[in-house]
Structure 1
Amino acid sequence: MSLGSRIFQRERLDRYLETDKKFIKTMSAFDLIALGIGAVIGTGIFILPGTVAATKAGPGIILSFIVAAIVCSTSAMCYAEFASALPVAGSAYSYGNLVFGEVIGWVLGWALILEYVLAVAAVSSAWGAYFQSFLTGFHIGFPKAISGPFVPSQGTYGNLIAIIIVILISWMLNHGMRSSVRLNNFIVVVKIGIILLFILVGAFYVKPTNWHPFLPFGWVGGTHGGVLGGAAAVFFAYLGFDAVSSSAAEVKNPKKNMPIGIIGTLIVATILYVGVSVVLTGMVSYTKLDVADPVAFALQFVKLNWVAGIISLGALAGMFTMMVTMTYSSSRLIYSIGRDGLLPHFLGKLDKHGSPRNSLVTITIVIAFMGGFVPLDQLTNLVNIGTLIAFLFVSFGIIPLRRNKEIQNHHGYQVPWYPILPIISGLLCLVMLSQLQAETWIASGIWFVFGLAIYFGYGVRHSQMNRS
Structure 2
Amino acid sequence: MSLFRTKDLDQMIRDSQHDSSGLKRSLGALDLTLLGIGAIVGTGIFVLTGTGALLAGPGLSLAFLLAAVACGFAALCYAELASSVPVSGSVYTYSYATMGEFIAWMIGWDLVLEYGLAASTVAVGWSGYFQSLLAGFSIHIPAVLSAAPGALPGLTTWFNLPAFIILLIITALLSIGIRESAKVNNILVFIKIGVVVLFIVVGANYVQPANWKPFLPFGYEGVFNAAAVVFFAFIGFDAVASAAEEVKRPARDLPIGIIASLGICSLLYVIVASIMTGIVPYEKFLGVDSPVSLALKYAGQNWVAGFVDMGAIIGMTTVILVMSYGQTRVLFAMSRDGLLPKKLSSVHPRFATPFFATWASGILFAFISALVPLSTLAELVNIGTLMAFCLISIAVLVMRKTRPDLHRPFRCPGVPYVPIAAICFCSFLMFHLQKTTWIAFGCWLLIGLVAYFAYARKRSLLHPK
Q: Which of 334, 339, 347 does residue 337 from structure 1 map onto?
A: 334
Q: Is the 8 A contact 1:340 1:348 kept in 2?
A: no
Q: Is the 8 A contact 2:80 2:408 kept in 1?
A: no
Distance 2:167 2:225 in 1: 35
Residue 95 to residue 301, structure 1, CA distance change in 2 (3 Å): same
Residue 363 of structure 2 corresponds to which residue in structure 1?
A: 365
Residue 70 of structure 1 corresponds to which residue in structure 2?
A: 69
Percent sequence identity over matched residues? 42
User: Which secondary structure does the structure 1 equivalent of 2:463 belong to?
Assistant: helix
Structure 1 residue 216: Cα displacement: 4.3
**Superposition TM-score, scaled by structure 1 size:** 0.92
Q: Is the 8 A contact 1:50 1:281 kept in 2?
A: no
Structure 1 residue 381: Cα displacement: 2.2
Q: Is the 8 A contact 1:215 1:226 kept in 2?
A: no
Q: Is the 8 A contact 1:57 1:225 kept in 2?
A: no
Distance 1:281 1:440 in 2: 28
Distance 2:77 2:92 in 1: 14
Structure 1 residue 288: Cα displacement: 3.8
Distance 2:259 2:6 in 1: 28
User: Which secondary structure does the structure 2 equivalent of 1:441 belong to?
Assistant: helix
Distance 1:334 1:24 in 2: 17
User: Which secondary structure does the structure 2 equivalent of 1:418 belong to?
Assistant: coil
Asked if 1:465 corresponds to 2:462, the answer is yes
Q: Which of 392, 395, 399 does residue 394 from structure 1 map onto?
A: 392
Residue 214 to residue 156, structure 1, CA distance change in 2 (3 Å): closer
Q: Is the 8 A contact 1:11 1:98 kept in 2?
A: yes
Q: Deviations over 1:406-434 (max 9, x none)?
A: x7331311111111211121122222222
User: Which secondary structure does the structure 2 equivalent of 1:464 belong to?
Assistant: coil
Asked if 1:442 corresponds to 2:439, the answer is yes
- The worse-fitting range, judged by mean Cα deviation, of 45-54 and 112-121 is 45-54
For these two proteins, the number of residue pairs brought into alignment is: 457
Q: Is the 8 A contact 1:92 1:108 kept in 2?
A: yes
Distance 1:169 1:228 in 2: 34
Distance 2:377 2:225 in 1: 23
Residue 172 of structure 1 corresponds to which residue in structure 2?
A: 173
Distance 1:415 1:170 in 2: 35
Residue 312 of structure 1 corresponds to which residue in structure 2?
A: 309
- The worse-fitting range, judged by mean Cα deviation, of 68-77 and 227-236 is 227-236
Residue 145 of structure 2 corresponds to which residue in structure 1?
A: 146
Equivalence map 1:384-423=2 (5 Å) = 384-405=382-403, 408-423=405-420
Task: Give the aligned residue type for 1:86.
Answer: V
Equivalence map 1:66-465=2 (5 Å) = 66-151=65-150, 154-211=155-212, 213=213, 215-217=215-217, 221-222=218-219, 225=221, 227-290=223-286, 292=288, 293-352=290-349, 353-405=351-403, 408-465=405-462
Structure 1 residue 226: Cα displacement: 5.1
Structure 1 residue 130: Cα displacement: 2.0
Structure 1 residue 40: Cα displacement: 1.1
Q: Deviations over 1:280-323 (max 9, x none)?
A: 23333445444513322221122111111111101111110000
Q: Is the 8 A contact 2:159 2:370 kept in 1?
A: yes
Distance 1:154 1:136 in 2: 17
Asked if 1:44 corresponds to 2:49, the answer is no
Distance 1:448 1:426 in 2: 20
Structure 1 residue 355: Cα displacement: 1.0
Distance 2:281 2:157 in 1: 39
User: Which secondary structure does the structure 2 equivalent of 1:156 belong to?
Assistant: coil
Residue 209 to residue 151, structure 1, CA distance change in 2 (3 Å): closer
Distance 1:142 1:276 in 2: 32
Asked if 1:12 corresponds to 2:8, the answer is yes
Distance 1:67 1:380 in 2: 18
- Structure 2 gap ranges (5+): none
User: Which secondary structure does the structure 2 equivalent of 1:446 belong to?
Assistant: helix
User: Which secondary structure does the structure 2 equivalent of 1:410 belong to?
Assistant: coil
Structure 1 residue 155: Cα displacement: 2.5
Distance 2:117 2:447 in 1: 16
Distance 1:197 1:374 in 2: 34
Residue 25 of structure 1 corresponds to which residue in structure 2?
A: 25
Q: Is the 8 A contact 2:56 2:63 kept in 1?
A: no
Task: Give the aligned residue type for 1:255.
Answer: A
Task: Give the aligned residue type for 1:383.
Answer: V
CA RMSD of aligned residues (A): 2.1
